[in-house]
Amino acid sequence: MSRLSRVRSEARAAYTSFVRRRTAVFFTFFFPVLLIAIFAGLISTGGGGTGLFSQPPGYYVPAYLAVVVLFTPLSRVSSEVARHREGARFEKLATTPLEKWEWLFAQTLVNVALIAAASVLLLLALLAAGASFALSPWFVVFVPAVSVVFCGVGAVLGSLADSQDGAIAASNGVAIPLLFLSDTFLSPAALPDWFAPVMNLSPLTYFARGVRAATYSGATPGWPGSVTAEFAVLLALAVAAFAVGAALIPWTE
Alpha carbon 93 to chain centroid, angstroms: 27
User: Of 111, 208, 100, 200, which is closest to residue 154 (Cα–Cα)?
Assistant: 111
CB atoms within 10 A of CB 3: 12
CA distance 49 to 64: 19
CA distance 240 to 42: 38
CA distance 69 to 72: 6
Work out the pLDDT band at 168, boundaries 50, 70, 90.
confident
Whole-structure pTM value = 0.88
Helical residues (DSSP H) of 87-226, grouped into ranges: 89-93, 100-128, 138-160, 164-180, 196-199, 203-215
Give per-residue pLDDT as tens, 35-91: 776 765 555 555 555 556 667 778 889 988 998 899 889 988 998 999 889 888 888
CA distance 193 to 196: 6
Give per-residue pLDDT as tens, 96-138: 888 999 999 999 999 999 899 889 988 988 888 778 898 999 9
| The pLDDT of residue 176 is above 80 | yes
CA distance 89 to 252: 10
Q: Show Cβ contacts of residue 14 under 8 Å, excluding neighbours closer than 6 positions.
A: 80, 106, 107, 110
